[in-house]
Amino acid sequence: MTEKKVTKKRAAPKKAKTVFETLEDSVVGTPIKIANRTFLASLGLVSTMQTEFEKFQTDFEKTFEKLVKDGEKARDRYRKQIKGFREDAKDFGEDVVEEVVEVKDRIVENVSSVAD
């Protein structure tokens, strides 16, 4: 027969205390706790600021794109208005030229009739 050798399970060794755990309740431990909490608070602040910045950036990009589209619409509208204004100015100029030519012709006729 084979005898089975029975081994006792050894208890896991106790985890050694960290330096902080050793000093936790001492005079030195309080400033370490405060420094640790301050560090964690600053990490939380950085995380919050990063989240807010990403939100701001996303909102800004949406707003910027909307402004670009609105600007394109306004540009097209103004171009049409300017084109209409140019056509009106051209027509007005042509009308003025016609009137000036008519007045000149009348003056020439009047001067010619007086000279005859």
50: left (phi over 0), alpha (psi -120 to 50) or beta: alpha
Mean pLDDT in consecutive groups of 10 residues from the start of the chain, 116 residues: 67 74 76 90 96 94 95 93 90 92 91 80
Distance CA 81, CA 62 (A): 29
Contact (Cβ atoms closer than 8 angstroms) between residue 66 and residue 74? no
Class of residue 85 by CB neighbours under 10 A (exposed 0-12, middle 13-18, buried 19+): exposed
